[in-house]
Structure 1
Amino acid sequence: MCFGGDSSDPGAFSGSPAGLTAALERAGHSVLRVNTALPSALERIAGRARWLHPELCRVHTYIADARLSKLEYDAVVQIGTDFLVCTAAPTVTYDDMTVAQHVRLRDDWFARYPRRAQLAWQVRQMRAFTNADRCCVLSQWAAESVVQDYQQPAEKVCVIGLGGNHIIEAPADRDWSKPRYLIIAKNWRRKNVPLVVETFAEVKRRFPSASLDVVGPYIGGPQPGVVFHGSLDLNKLSDRRRVEELLRSATCYVMPSKHEASALAFVEAGAAGIPSIGTTSGGVRELIGPGGTVVDPTDSFSLLREMIRLADPRTASTLGALAADHARWYTWDATAQRLLNVIEEVARGRGRSSNECSTS
């Protein structure tokens, strides 16, 4: 498992490496964790110098090559494609979105990198996809970019999904009679928290019993029906229990992000039997499926319309049941099995020799 960080850290890459690694181990496989990053202090210093990002990624590629050369393994899973892997073993990449999609979405985080670094990153991602036997992605939205923007054969690209890290069962006794909205967002600007809070004011006017719980660093001014919980640390038992309580009581998860590749929050909400309102910008439509809806993140009227629609107890409970059923596809165990199926397919005779890949 090659990753530019600690793949056992539940906070790294939204917990995806940790969730996938744990699922592979539960399936009886031995997972060798290959951290391609520099020691944390050096990585933080180098990361601040964004103009040096291409050079830093070359270092990550060198580290991956050096560490893999000392190991015996049957296959390589490369999480993220900002570095390159060159090996004779079956190799698959795993990404939530592409650099080309970052560019199209005008992602604020990605825009901080100089143009030189952005172009180099896109070229390097192309090489990583080309080197790999299969390009695994979380959503069809990302798969289409790998095919269209990176000229990879469609049969080489596999949608394997993802899982949730904080799963609770849908309670049978949820009270649907009072609309209770929930948003959990660390990156509150991109997740559009202010728009949700602003729109809720009109919902509250129409439905006096409605409430909105906001988890994350965003703290707005006093507003009827809105509770700002601040940031909650899921590694702390008390905070985790508080989040679980919110998931058990919520009747609608609402997060119309400015853009969203594949937020685990929708999987976790669905598993808890909560219908969701997401964004049209990105790949979350697939995660929500029939258990909710998506809206244009710039259209407050559409958001208001859907929040009002899901204030209806019958509508919310019906979509909540659909969300719970849809979420069964999105577990780390199921995702790991789909990944193993891809690797086994490659190993059955579709591999390639090491001289076919490039790290230059």
Structure 2
Amino acid sequence: MYRLIGIDTEGAADFRTARGRNLSVYRALDGYAQIVDRFTPALTNWSQYANYALSFRPHPRHWKGVANLNPRTFRAQSALALQRLKAQRPDFDVALQIFGMFSVAGHGFPVALYLDNTMALTLQHYPQWNPMSRRERQDWLLLEQDAYHAADLLFTMSEAVRQSVIDDYGVPAQKVVAVGAGANFTLDEVGKQEYGQQTALFVAYEFGRNGGATLLEAWRLVRQQLPEARLQIVGPRQRVVPPGTPGVEWFGPVKDRGQLRQLFQDATLFVLPSIFNPFPHVLREAMAMGLPCVSTAHAAIPEIVTDGLNGSLVPVGDPDALAQTLLSLLSQPALARRYGQAGRDTVAQAMSWAQVGAAMTPGLAALAARS
């Protein structure tokens, strides 16, 4: 059994008991490898204060974004991670770095990366998500490119990200393997039975990037034909819909997993008309709960939702197409049931973290053998 150390962004947590999408990777690998340690290269308080001072922007949200995502943090976190890895070098055979927010590759020990996105994809689809200046973006792209080339092996959650690593960064195709990702909700033993509620559920923290404006415009059209239909919005901290808007229920962030699970169980369908979302795990969670998914045809989403099988895909920013799709599923319980059950079957057969661990292990074991 090979010895693995993980570097990620989850903070101090025990992967065996705590939740988190990064932590699920370690649980998936735990049967194949000895996970000797995992850690987050977090900046010290003084370093973070200095970083915030150098990152100042008038808008608080932009200020926080720049402070957390810039070449300075990339280099600083890389140095912290490397310092700890060198101290622990006798204890591990291979390092697994989750996401490309820093780099530990190219320093004499085997390193694999696991990626859900690239900066190149962000700049192509939704550049406003990137808070950096033009010069900082160029610097970041070079750091990212160096990290990908220095790594011994790159795993990606999607084929879309795999192609970006190859096409946008020039990494040899044989070094990049798409292994997918799992669902963080467990399958219900019985499965969903009721699809006549006429309730659409949206779950995402970032309302704008995930097509919130398009959804609200489409929903007005839906309510004209289905006056009893309900749209439940979960996640965004700031309310952008006036209280009392007909047919819209605003929940904000829901921390209670039981309450969130109940909202999934009570809905007819799940809707996420994202402008750009590189790998929305929530779609797989909705499918695990037996919900048909309505989303947009971009990035990795067509790899998760198969149009006409377990959901429907519409063009980005098209409220008319979105409204027609929602109307079709909300007014036809049999169709919603067929899509929902097909989605649940898809998750059960091909979307588990156990399968991700099994797909990663041959590459990680081969790297460990070279250590």
Asked whether the two chains share a fold, i.e. TM above 0.5, the reply is yes
Give the Cα separation in 1 of the matches to 2:46 and 2:299: 33
Partner of 2:273: 256
Instruction: Tell me if structure 2 keeps the 8 A contact 1:24–1:31.
Output: no
CA, structure 1 residues 43+339, in 2 after alignment: closer, same or farther (shift >3 Å)? Answer: farther
Q: Which residue is 1:64 aligned to?
A: 81
Q: CA deviation at 1:347?
A: 4.3
Aligned pair partner of 1:197 in 210, 216, 227: 216
Larger mean Cα displacement after TM superposition, 89-98 or 16-25: 16-25
Q: Contact 2:288/2:344 (CA < 8 Å) preserved in 1?
A: yes
Tell me if 1:279 matches 2:293. no
Match of 1:15 in 2: 20
**Residues 1:340 and 2:340 aligned together:** no
Match of 2:259 in 1: 242
Counterparts of 2:288 and 2:190 in 1: how far apart (Å)? 10
Three-state SS of the structure 2 residue aligned to 1:310 is helix
CA contact (8 A) 1:181 1:254 kept: yes
8 Å Cα contact 2:7/2:38 also seen in 1 = yes
Check 1:209–1:196 CA distance in 2 against 1; reply closer, same or farther (3 A cut): same
In structure 1, the partner of 2:207 is: 188
- Between the two proteins, the alignment pairs up a number of residues equal to 341
Deviation, 1:41, is 6.7
Deviation at 1:96, TM superposition (A): 0.9
* Distance in structure 2 (CA, Å) of the matches to 1:205 and 1:53: 46
Cα distance 1:324–1:41, how it changes in 2: closer, same or farther (>3 A)?
farther
Q: Does structure 1 retain, via aligned residues, the 8 Å contact 2:277–2:299?
A: yes
What is the aligned-residue RMSD (CA, Å)?
2.5
The residue aligned with 1:103 is 123
1:1-360 to structure 2, matched below 5 A, reads 1-6=6-11, 8=13, 15-25=20-30, 29-39=34-44, 42-43=47-48, 46=51, 49=55, 50=66, 53-71=70-88, 72-85=91-104, 86-110=106-130, 112-169=131-188, 171-172=190-191, 174-216=193-235, 217=237, 218-221=239-242, 222-233=244-255, 239-289=256-306, 290-311=309-330, 312-328=332-348, 329-347=350-368
C-alpha separation in 2, matches of 1:333 and 1:3: 19
Give the 3 Å change call, closer, same or farther, for CA 294–73 of structure 1 in structure 2. same
> Are the counterparts in 1 of residues 95 and 111 from structure 2 also a CA contact under 8 Å?
yes
**How far apart are 1:330 and its partner, in Å?**
2.2
Are the counterparts in 1 of residues 201 and 231 from structure 2 also a CA contact under 8 Å?
Answer: yes
Q: CA deviation at 1:190?
A: 0.9
CA distance in 2, matches of 1:335, 1:60: 27
Gaps spanning 5+ residues in structure 2: where? 1-5, 56-65
CA distance in 2, matches of 1:41, 1:316: 53
Summarize the Cα distance change of 1:169–1:28 in structure 2 as closer, same or farther, 3 Å threshold: farther
Alpha-carbon deviations, 1:287-308, whole Å to 9, x = none?
2234112222211111112112
Q: Quick one: distance in 1 between partners of 2:49 and 2:284?
A: 31
Distance 1:103 1:243, change over 3 A: same
Q: Is the 8 A contact 1:185 1:193 kept in 2?
A: no
For residues 75 and 231 of structure 2, what CA distance do their matches in structure 1 show? 46
Name the CA shift for 1:309/1:345 in 2 (closer, same or farther; >3 Å). Answer: farther
TM-score scaled by structure 1? 0.86
* Matching residue's letter, 2:103: L
Per mean C-alpha deviation after superposition, the further-off stretch among 172-181 and 297-306 is: 172-181
Alpha carbons 1:181, 1:251 under 8 Å: kept: yes
Q: 1:26 to 1:46 in 2, by over 3 A?
A: farther
- The Cα of 1:195 is off from its aligned counterpart by 2.3
Distance in 2 of aligned mates of 1:47 and 1:162: 33
Is the CA contact 1:36–1:60 (under 8 Å) kept in the aligned structure 2? Answer: yes
Deviation, 1:63, is 1.3
- Rounded to whole Å, the distance in 2 between the matches of 1:265 and 1:149 is 27
1:302 and 1:4 map into 2 onto residues whose CA distance is 37
Equivalent position SS for 1:164:
coil
Q: Deviation per CA, 1:59-103: give whole Å up to 9, x if none.
A: 222112111111120111111223221344332111111111111
TM-score w.r.t. length of structure 2? 0.84
Q: Which amino acid aligns with 1:212?
A: L
Output one character per residue of 1:93-152: Cα deviation in whole Å (capped at 9) or x when no partner: 111111111111233221x20112111111111111111121111101111111111111
CA distance in 2, matches of 1:4, 1:123: 21
SS of aligned partner of 1:144: helix
**Cα displacement string for residues 210-254 of structure 1 (whole angstroms, at most 9, x for unaligned residues):** 221111233512233222122211xxxxx3222111111212100
Which amino acid in the other structure matches residue 70 of structure 1?
Answer: A
